[in-house]
Amino acid sequence: MSFFQMAKTVLSSMFKKPATLNYPVKPREYDPIVRGHIEIEIEKCIFCGMCQRKCPTGAIKVERAEKRWAIEPFDCIQCNNCAESCPKDCLHMHNTATPANENRDLIRDARISVDAEDNKDS
């Protein structure tokens, strides 16, 4: 048994850099493999629905007829199953969290392919 065991650690900590980051000034850099949020390259998408079938939480909705792809980011658990199963390699996992937004529809990010939008106009 002894006293002041912590003193040495405390004293040496006074001369070390802080273990934490000065956050807003110095943002954290994430490793490329960190799973943050899913992004889609809608031009490449063929609306096969594979990602919808592979999603364990049912966060992804694909409507082939309307050429529409949507994700509910609050349901997404970032498992990367959709990106791995995508035959066209158009889904990508980004290493930052879903960006904050006030507009829920924008967050959900329903995307319609360019052809479908063209058809709508005509």
Q: Is 2 in the site for other proteins (CB under 8 A)?
A: yes
Q: For other proteins, which is the closer residue by CB, 30 or 106?
A: 30
Cβ closer to other proteins: 43 or 84?
84
Check residue 56 for interaction with other proteins (CB under 8 A).
yes
Q: Which residues pair with 62 in a beta bridge?
A: 69
Annotate 53-121 with DSSP letters as a single string: HH-TT--EEEETTTTEEEE-TTT-----HHHHH-TT--EEEESSPPPP-S-HHHHHT-EE-HHHHHHHH
Residue 27 as a binder of other proteins (CB under 8 A): the answer is no
32 or 118: CB nearest other proteins:
32
Among residues 41, 46, 64, 77, the one that binds other proteins under rule CB under 8 A: 77
The single-letter DSSP state of residue 13 is: H
